[in-house]
Amino acid sequence: MSTPAGVPARPGKVIAVHVAYESRAAQRGKRPAQPSYFLKAASSVAASGQTIERPAGTSLLAFEGEVAIVIGTAARNIAEADAWSYVAGVTASNDFGLYDMKTPDKGSNVRSKSRDGYTPLGPELIPAAEAAPDSLRLRTWVNGEVVQDDGTRADQLIFTLPRIVADLSQHLTLEPGDVILTGTPAGSSVVAPGDTVEVEVTAASASGRELSSGRLTTTVVEGPGDFDEALGDLPAVNEALTVDAWGSREAAGLAPESNADDSAATGLGDDLIAKLTEAPTAGLSAQLRARGLNNVVIESVAPLKPGSKIVGTAKTLRFVPNREDLFKSHGGGYNAQKQAFDSIRPGEVVVIEARGESGSGTLGDILALRAKSLGATGVITDGGVRDSAEVAGILPVFATAKNPAVLGRRHVPWESDVAVACGNATVLPGDVIVADDDGAIVIPRDLTEEVVDAALAKEIEDGWVAEQVGAGNPIEGLFPPKGEWKAKFDEWKASR
């Protein structure tokens, strides 16, 4: 196989994938069924250590750390199983884009992504023969802080790297030295003059040693903003572009979207939510027991702030016990925990399976703020909570303990929107959750209206009984009402 000498300084073609990572798709709320692509000018390629200009008068320059594939042998109509043998190697890349020019581009990305220096590559090539396509790790740093950490396993990518190569070869000849940018994971955001962005790709070789592209370093500087309106469109931004560039409304400093349609999102309806808010968990639990459901109490959890009430539908998140290699692959970057909190719908309750392990936190103030901004009604975890005083002031949270330790001490964030075991109770996504000072319970959605109506009716009866006991009457025959007392209660109820 003939290979180019290292990282090409001027590729024949630079082809970029729009969305290929599960984390990116989850962040944007859209998952493509098939890969799609755009071209970048070869003149946009730059080496490590160079600067990139953000034109004066613009504000939305976004980085995108990516794995870059360098083609080694001409490929046309190749099979996915053979595709990796046509690859010379992989390296780090940064698919910079100026979102201020997205609207004028109308989808082509020519002006937003093909500016000089907007495709840094390198600095070293990892030989494809020494690194399996599903073994790569991609990390991006901004000013020394990790902001992207993802990989190329089948569960992390929507489209595998060999599939991307094979698919492109159906439509055009991939030539030696061509570069394919394989998409960015979640974490892409906006940078400004003075910021330094670093990207690195690593892999474990067959011998076990770590292979690295080295860190691709780019520093942002301000450039001239000399756009001539007589020649073409000027930069323009709007709210949607701002959110896309920053990665979220919160990161962009925008107010959360209105949650006026909370009841529609949860599917409960305003009347049912009002009834559940009025009904105590003790009464609801008794009605579930009367219907044969005894294992509906989420045990050992208590409100961080007494007097809290939670009503909503379950958004589930599962942690597994910490194992160092698994935390390395699943704990960093845009992990399952962050994805779950970023995809909350109004009216949902985040229910976390932490196996009753309170030796580290399962959320802190930042995630609580995110949950509140998206309209969550609360969080229930059978683990610990960090920043407990701050969290208690943000939204209702029920937990087993307060703990200052970080997540990785005891837990690995694993998956969301699955059946979980929280506080020894099974909770399915969409189950109805109600919590108050007595504790938290889970109600099957199809029983909710029947159970809450019965619980509220029993509350009325218990209130009347309490009045009679308070007046000095003995409990026998009165609690619950029987015989003469039952007749008196029915008469009182009919007169109301």
Q: Are residues 416 and 294 in the same domain?
A: yes
**Can you tell me the distance from the alpha carbon of 394 to that of 389, in angstroms, rounded to the nearest whole number?**
9
Cα–chain center distance at 401 = 25
One domain, residues 33 and 173: yes
Same domain, 240 and 132: yes
Q: What span, in angstroms and rounded, lies between the C-alpha atoms of 331 and 339?
A: 12
From residue 134, give the alpha-carbon distance in Å to each of 66, 146, 151, 154, 385: 14, 21, 8, 7, 35
**Quick one: 91 and 219 in the same domain?**
yes
Tell me the residue range of the domain where 403 lies. Answer: 262-449
Nearest Cα neighbor of 432 from 288, 305, 290 is 288
Single out the residue in 410, 425, 449 at which a domain terminates.
Answer: 449
Go through 53-75 and write b for each residue having 16 or more CB atoms within 10 A of its CB, e for each that does not: bbbeebebbbbbbbbbbbbbeeb
Q: Is 247 exposed, middle or buried (0-12, 13-18, 19+ CB in 10 A)?
A: buried
Judge if 203 and 111 occupy the same domain: yes
Name the domain count of the chain.
2
Residues 303, 197 share a domain: no
CA distances from 87 to 96, 165, 170, 300, 425 (A): 24, 9, 16, 55, 50
Residues 202 and 293 placed together within one structural domain of the fold? no
Place of tokens 């902001």: 147
Q: Which of the residues in the chain have pLDDT under 70?
A: 1-5, 106-107, 256-267
Is the same domain home to 209 and 277? no
Same domain, 276 and 233: no
- For residues 306 and 437, membership in a common domain is answered with yes
Q: Of 195, 216, 246, which closes a domain? A: 246
CA atoms 102, 108, 110, 114: torsion sign: positive
User: Which residue, among 233, 301, 235, has the nearest Cα to 60 in the 3D structure?
Assistant: 235
Distance between CA 358 and CA 236 in Å, rounded?
Answer: 49
Look up the CATH number of the domain holding residue 312: 3.50.30.40
Query: Would you say the pTM of this structure is higher than 0.95?
Result: no
CB 342 within 8 Å of CB 26: yes
**Among 26, 52, 276, residue whose Cα is nearest residue 150:** 26
In this predicted structure, what is the pLDDT of residue 149? 95
At residue 495, the pLDDT reads: 78
105-to-183, 188, 470 alpha-carbon distances in Å: 19, 20, 76
The pLDDT, as a whole number, for residue 2 is: 35
Q: What is the pLDDT of residue 266?
A: 59
3-class DSSP state of 67: strand
Which CATH number goes with the domain that contains 139?
Answer: 3.90.850.10
Considering the domain architecture, whether residues 270 and 236 belong to the same structural domain is answered as: no
User: Final residue of a domain: which of 217, 246, 275?
Assistant: 246
Whole-number pLDDT of residue 257: 61
* Same structural domain, 155 and 296: no
- CA torsion, ordered 180, 181, 183, 189, to nearest 10 deg: -170
The answer to whether position 467 is within a domain reads no
